[in-house]
Amino acid sequence: MTEARNYGLGDSAAVAALVEGRHGDPFALLGPHTVDGRRVVRTLQPGALGVELIDARGLPVAELRRVHDGGLFAGIAPDDAAYRLRVRWSGASHDTHDPYAFGTLLADDDLARMADGSHVELFRVLGAHPVTLDRVHGVRFAVWAPNAQRVSVVGDFNSWDGRRHPMRKRVPSGVWELFVPGLLAGARYKYEIWGADGSLTQRADPVALAAELPPATASIVADPTAFHWTDGDWLRRRGALHHAGSPLSIYELHAGSWLRGKNNEELHWDDIGERLIPYVAGMGFTHIELLPISEHPFGGSWGYQPLGQFAPTSRFGTPEAFARFVDRCHEAGVGVIVDWVPAHFPTDIHGLAHFDGTPLYEHADPREGFHQDWNTLIFNLGRNEVSGFLVASALAWLERFHVDGLRVDAVASMLYRDYSRKHGEWVPNKYGGRENLESIDFLRRVNQLVAERHPDCMTIAEESTAWPGVTQPVDQGGLGFTFKWNMGWMHDSLDFMTHDPIHRRWHHGEMTFSMVYAYSEKFVLPLSHDEVVHGKRSLLGRMPGDEWQKFANLRAYYGFMWGHPGKKLLFTGGEIAQPREWNHDAQIAWELLDHPLHLGVQKLVRDLNQLYANTPALHAWDSDPRGFRWVIGDDAEQSVFAWLRMADGGRTVLVVSNMTPTPRHSFRIGVPEGGRWREALNSDATEYGGSGVGNEGERHAQAVRAQGFEQSLVLSLPPLSTVMFVAD
């Protein structure tokens, strides 16, 4: 240590800790320091043969001496001029600026706002960012790990050696930072963390903007400003498309299984977009909804167990490719919604679990922090930094990628502390109740910030309970979502449809009960991916009867759905009546469109979307009780349903569903006005694969009283059908 003392390294324990990768403050030893009036430079280069200082021209100015066999070098710099390091290895050498010659990187204000959870642009502060400091190009790294004993950034650039680039800890925030000169976008990296519990792990960056293709797990340095957007016109007008009175028809899909390559491989965003975007636009859907595209380790989770809350999965290409996909959707007039998962995260060792050797992102108590249904960990939303991390993630998808809405997954599991838990398996809140107060505050904050910063965007809740006020504004005591999935309608109506028509009379209320609460929230009617997996069968597979009846039932059901108040959501494959369950490892069975019955269902969905979008009565008062009136709601014996849809200034629509295979001729139904009623859609039309029973395109009202109306129509109700009439 005599040699080391000459360079101000008299603390042998500190030197040993540094070279062994156990020192928590590398800047105290490395970089330039003043010792006895001299400028001393120290650098740790394990495995190097030698190190010298070079000037701006690349000329040597001083040779550093090896002061420890672990690769610690030190020497005297001749002046205060800028220097670089020339490191000699066996058979090679490289020149680099000294990472430990740079001062602190992150502003105190950024760190303070991160600590109190108020930093809504966290992805601009934490993570890996190409920057230029003192005219030196490189990458600035920053990660929150307050309880770690040491954090290093590792990657190909340092042979994944955690001794090479230990980071500076900023107190009291617990953020570790380091500038690595010469590094460029595209570099792979992780953080090597010596945890509070003595563990040594390599972790992906929680705020990475890009990641490796799984099963590889490294993060990738990305440039957040790399894409040039051209969707300004869409952004200016999209607000008019997202309010409660707009027609909203959502095509839900999994990007990896809508279409696949010749060898069943997943396609790139560019290839997906080339086929998907014109298809969706041609089908009349207003939006696509993507199952979670945040980076996730296990493909079989469909994205619902994410680790990269800020990074689009690399399975389909780069972040720039996803941005280009969204831009192309907007160019075609198609909105983009992404599923976002703030409820839980997986336990993978490269992820967030026990991140710094303590339960940092999750609750310490498994009664609060472990989700028994999914074997995942639950975010500790009572911690400012964790709540702020997720808030920033939500906003980042809207800001970085111009997505038009977030569908928030598993909201019910967040709202209740006893969700899917038995007595003794959960911890009450501070008032002794079951409500998760921290999650409630978090969801309100997300929705409030979205409303303030992006009022033209939507948030949609998957919430399966009767929690009140999900779509009420936050300032009125609600959670503040734009829309909520109507899980009750979905469960009840699907159950009704699975029964043989002869038994439907006993389940009649399952089709009418939804109108009891239809205006308690702003609803989306979801026929989602969850309904065509895990042995539930496909939608077509759940319909009773022979082949013709199955298709007729499904067509009638779609007509019923599009005529019912509420925005629409249909999972991919439903529009072609795919008979098998959805398989995320295979594409949709597009070859079915060679079969007239499948093609007929596709045509029906297209026409339903067109009628829905062009008829204000079918959407404008979705959330206003003035927009709906039962005409026949109690005919359980015949399983006939009839109702009116209305809107201010719009033409009234009569919707009639006959849910038995018996055609009903000369069926009188009351209407509120006389004149001609045009048969705008008939699910039994031959072009859809039906029997062709209909009303010759129109019916004229007669002055005969029926169902409380002075006028009425005499109709032919096709078997297993929904027919819509528009008053002219």
Claim to verify: residue 218 and residue 96 sit in the same structural domain: no
Q: Among 385, 409, 492, 679, which one carries the catalytic annotation?
A: 409
Read off the pLDDT of residues 488-525 as tens digits, 9 standing for 90 and up: 999 999 999 999 999 999 999 999 999 999 999 999 99
pLDDT confidence bin for 2, thresholds 50/70/90: low
Read off the pLDDT of residues 411-465 as tens digits, 9 standing for 90 and up: 999 999 999 999 999 999 999 999 999 999 999 999 999 999 999 999 999 999 9
What was the pLDDT predicted at 4?
Answer: 67
Nearest-angstrom CA–CA distance, 317 and 340: 19
Residue whose structure tokens are 């070098």: 73
Claim to verify: residue 20 and residue 150 sit in the same structural domain: no
Mean pLDDT (whole number) for 599-621: 98
Claim to verify: residue 94 and residue 225 sit in the same structural domain: no
Read off the pLDDT of residues 268-310 as tens digits, 9 standing for 90 and up: 999 999 999 999 999 999 999 999 999 999 999 999 999 999 9
Mean pLDDT of the chain: 96
What single letter denotes the amino acid at residue 75?
A: G
Angle at 43 between CA 38 and CA 47, to 5 degrees: 145
What was the pLDDT predicted at 321?
Answer: 96
Read off the pLDDT of residues 375-416 as tens digits, 9 standing for 90 and up: 999 999 999 999 999 999 999 999 999 999 999 999 999 999
Where residue 654 sits, what CATH number does that domain have? 2.60.40.1180
DSSP 670-687: EESS-SEEEEEEETT-GG
Read off the pLDDT of residues 569-596 as tens digits, 9 standing for 90 and up: 999 999 999 999 999 999 999 999 999 9
What was the pLDDT predicted at 224?
Answer: 77
Q: How is residue 161 annotated by DSSP?
A: -
Does 121 fall in a domain? yes
Q: Among 205, 356, 462, 463, which one carries the catalytic annotation?
A: 462
Claim to verify: residue 13 and residue 72 sit in the same structural domain: yes
pLDDT confidence bin for 3, thresholds 50/70/90: low
Nearest-angstrom CA–CA distance, 293 and 303: 6
pLDDT confidence bin for 81, thresholds 50/70/90: confident
The structure tokens listed for 438 are: 């921290």
Where residue 66 sits, what CATH number does that domain have? 2.60.40.10
The structure tokens listed for 215 are: 């099963």
pLDDT confidence bin for 650, thresholds 50/70/90: confident
Mean pLDDT (whole number) for 204-233: 94
Is pLDDT above 90 for 11?
no
Residue whose structure tokens are 């005499």: 714
Instruction: Specify whether 462 is catalytic.
Output: yes
Q: What is the pTM of this model?
A: 0.95
Claim to verify: residue 184 and residue 296 sit in the same structural domain: yes
Read off the pLDDT of residues 97-123 as tens digits, 9 standing for 90 and up: 999 999 999 999 999 999 999 999 999
What was the pLDDT predicted at 78?
Answer: 87
Instruction: Specify whether 192 is catalytic.
Output: no
Where residue 351 sits, what CATH number does that domain have? 3.20.20
Angle at 678 between CA 672 and CA 684, to 5 degrees: 115
Pairing of strands 344-345, 287-290: unpaired
Domain boundary among 101, 122, 155: 101
Mean pLDDT (whole number) for 152-175: 96
Domain boundary among 43, 66, 101: 101
Mean pLDDT (whole number) for 541-555: 98
Claim to verify: residue 115 and residue 181 sit in the same structural domain: yes
Domain residues for the domain of 642 are: 624-727
Q: How many domains in the chain?
A: 3
Half-sphere exposure in the Cβ direction for 251 (13 Å, CA): 28
Q: How is residue 217 annotated by DSSP?
A: -
Does 540 fall in a domain? no
Claim to verify: residue 274 and residue 422 sit in the same structural domain: yes
Does 171 fall in a domain? yes
Sheet holding 168-170: strands in order across? 127-133, 136-144, 175-181, 168-170
Claim to verify: residue 89 and residue 110 sit in the same structural domain: no
Q: How is residue 379 annotated by DSSP?
A: B
Claim to verify: residue 79 and residue 228 sit in the same structural domain: no
Claim to verify: residue 189 and residue 225 sit in the same structural domain: yes
Claim to verify: residue 227 and residue 300 sit in the same structural domain: yes
Domain boundary among 458, 481, 496: 458
Nearest-angstrom CA–CA distance, 194 and 158: 18
